[in-house]
Structure formats: C-alpha cells, structure tokens
Amino acid sequence: MPMKKYFTGRFRILLFEDTIRAIFETQMSAIQRSLPLLLCLLIVACEDTSAPPPTTDVCFTTQVQPVIDAGCAKSGCHDEADPAGDVLQRPGIVVPGDPTQSRLIKLLTSTDLTVRMPPPPWPAFDSQTINTISQWIDQGASVSACTSPLDTTTITYTSSIKRIVDLYCVGCHIKQVSGSGPILTTHARVKDEIINGHFMQTIEHEDGYVPMPPGRTRVSEREVELLKTWVRRGMP
C-alpha cells in the first residue's frame, strides 16, 4: 500500500513537470514568434519622430526693407537717389534661395572694413538682423507685402516699441556716429524725443517736418498706431 502511494505521488510529480514544461515551451514559442515584431516596435520607438520646428516666413516690407534702408540708404551711400530697395535688384546681390551665394550677405558679414557694409563709422548689422535677411533669402527673397495681427493687449518699450525703433531709426540715430541727430538707443532717449522733440511728427510725415526714416521706407500705419497707443498709455 505505501508503494502504491509512492508511485502514485511520483506519477503526479512527473505529470506536473510535463505540464510546466509544455506551458514554458508554448510561451517561449510565442515569444520567438513575436520577437521580430517587438524588435520593429523598439526601433520605431527609438526613432526621432519629433517634427522640425515650424519656420516663420520673413516679411520683406516690415523686416527686411526697413533695416536695409536704415543701414544703407544714407547720404553719401545709397541715398534717396539710389534707394536700398533698388540696390537689392542688382545682379548677384541677392540669389533667391541661396544666402551663401548672395553678395549682400558677403558684404554684411565681411571682416574686411574696406568691403563691409555698412562701412565704418557706421556699425555692422548684428547677427540677428543678418540671420533674418539670410532667412528671407533662403525662403525665396519675396518682396511682397505682408501683415500680421496687431496685438495691443500689452505694449511696453521692451516688448513692442524697441523693435520698431531699432528697425527704422537706430541705423542712423546711434551714438557711434556724430551728426546723426537725436540718439534713440534707449527707452529714456526715445521717450524724451517723443516728449520734447518731433518723433511722432517725423515718422507720420507731417507737413513742415523732415520725414523719417529717409528713403522710400516709412513706418507702417499699423506700427504708427502701436506707437500712438504706447504714447497714450504713458510710454511704459
């Protein structure tokens, strides 16, 4: 009787082992069949699926022409008789789609002061301005006008006005050049010129005042409205 129990128990143990082995082999077979799919999923998961950052189109009339005119359309350089906009039409100055082959970029970035534009004592364009012009050329150098929504929710010198003054005025009204008129490189100086000078009258081309900026570019109506709103709010 004890022997019978022993063999019965042994049989049960063997049967249990066979069952476990069968389950294990079934699971391993399923894993092996799924392995290629798992590898594919792993590869896909490791790939960089992030989309490239969207590029914003550069507007010629509000971002390129004003700074070119301010930096180049000066007396003795490309003045009103030879406005900067016409200079851009010269062969080789701008090669649409290829900033590296555009002579304009080579002139703006040259370290040779006898070649660089604007020439001394006028300061060179900063890297941000040159990057904007390069991006405009890379996008095809379109000269069409463009507009963007006018946001007057929060207007401060730093957030809104400095960009306009830098774009249209600072090319001439800078400390480095004597005889350039009022210096407009800081919040305090711009505010003082608006209060005690003729800043708004000149940019609006009122009769009896020298229109600013010189050349064929003028501050857009939208930007003038932004300046007026800023002035009404106390020029923060």
Q: Identify the pLDDT of residue 190.
A: 95
Residue 82 φ then ψ, to 5°? -145, 65
Could you tell me if 138 and 130 are in contact, meaning their C-beta atoms sit under 8 angstroms apart? Answer: no
Spatial separation of the C-alpha atoms in residues 118 and 75, rounded to whole Å: 12
Residue entry with tokens 């800081």: 186
pLDDT digits (tens, 9 = 90+) for 107-129: 999 999 999 988 888 888 889 99
Side-chain-facing half-sphere of 36: CA atoms under 13 Å? 1
Alpha helices, DSSP H only, in 101-197?
A: 103-109, 127-138, 162-168, 187-196
Return the percent helix, strand and coil in the chain, to nearest 5. Answer: 50, 0, 50
CA dihedral 77, 83, 85, 90 (to 10 degrees): -70
Q: Identify the pLDDT of residue 172.
A: 79
**CA proximity to 146, closest of 81, 62, 21, 229:** 62
**CA proximity to 106, closest of 124, 121, 84:** 124
Count of C-beta atoms within a 10 Å radius of residue 79: 14
Q: Say which residues have a Cβ less than 8 Å from residue 28's Cβ, sequence separation at least 6.
A: none
Sites in the chain below the pLDDT cut of 70: 1-55, 73-87, 147-150, 175-180, 215-216
Read off the tokens for 112: 């040779």
**CA proximity to 166, closest of 132, 206, 135:** 132
pTM of the model: 0.58
So where are the chain's domains?
A: 60-138, 157-232
Q: Identify the pLDDT of residue 135.
A: 95
Spatial separation of the C-alpha atoms in residues 102 and 94, rounded to whole Å: 5
